[in-house]
Amino acid sequence: MKRMESIMIMVMVFAAMFYVWQTFEEAKHVPEYKGPVQQVVVSEGDSIWKIAEQSNGSSPLTLEESVEWMLHHNHIEDATVMPGQAIQVPAGGTGVAME
């Protein structure tokens, strides 16, 4: 019985550590960007990646950083956007990307 309790405690500790690690991993992937933003209305056939590609021309963010920034700042969890949805995108300019 003691062995089973020890195993259960180890499993719970591992699960808690994994949860904390995941939380910090997700938080560190959002680039800081303090430059101008613009609002874009999603059109039929648009994806978060397509919008990032179209708006990334003068942005100091990489394409991947733009997508991560857009997902985070628009509270999009599964990268799905719907036609008519208004989202904020980095507009380029003087913003600084930092990891």
Asked if residue 35 lies in contact with residue 94, where contact means CB atoms within 8 angstroms, the answer is yes
pTM: 0.62
pLDDT band at 25 (very low <50, low <70, confident <90, very high): low
Mean residue pLDDT across the chain: 82
- CB neighbours of 63 closer than 8 A, spacing ≥ 6? 49, 52, 53, 56
Which CATH code, of 3.50.50.60, 3.30.365.10, 3.10.350.10, 3.40.50.1110, is assigned to 37-90? 3.10.350.10
Summarize the confidence of residues 4-15 as an average pLDDT: 87
The pLDDT value recorded for residue 29 is 67
- Identify the weakest region by mean pLDDT among 34-38, 73-77, 92-96: 92-96
Amino acid at 80: T
How distant, in Å, are the alpha carbons of 13, 18, 35, 84 from that of 64?
33, 25, 17, 23
Placement of tokens 């036609």 in the chain:
83
The pLDDT value recorded for residue 18 is 77
The pLDDT value recorded for residue 3 is 87
